[in-house]
Amino acid sequence: MRKLLLLLLLPLILPAADRKWLTSVGMLAAAATMDIASSVGQYEANPLFRGRDGKFNVRRGVLVKAGLCTGFLLIGRKNKKLGFVVNVTASGLWAGVAIRNWRVR
């Protein structure tokens, strides 16, 4: 229980730039998850994510998103402000794609 409490309170003692960046990391993870969840079982227009049957390949999708997220996190480790901007931009883009995917189902 103490570890959970410490984990929840940790962001409060960090500098403001770190808090913003950590918030954007959470947004990025949520948007990537929403995008993947909205694509599962559907036909995929992007050949990078498309399987042989023309539908979304979950394994490829997760690997590509994980790679992109890792790159974004490395940017944020060096420059918190740039990392924040990149994460929020990617989050908005992926959330928009997820909303579009759910609408066309």
Q: How many CB atoms lie within 10 A of CB 17?
A: 14
- Per DSSP, what are the bridge partners of residue 55? 43
The answer, yes or no, to whether residue 17 has pLDDT greater than 80, is no
**3 vs 22, residue with greater confidence:** 22
* pLDDT at residue 16 in the model: 76
Q: Which residue has tokens 């947004």? A: 27
Residue 6: per-residue pLDDT: 64
**Contact status, residue 19 vs residue 11, Cβ threshold 8 Å:** yes
Contact criterion met (CB below 8 Å) for 87 and 21: yes
Q: pTM value? A: 0.83
R_g over Cα of the chain: 16
What is the pLDDT, as a whole number, of residue 12?
A: 67
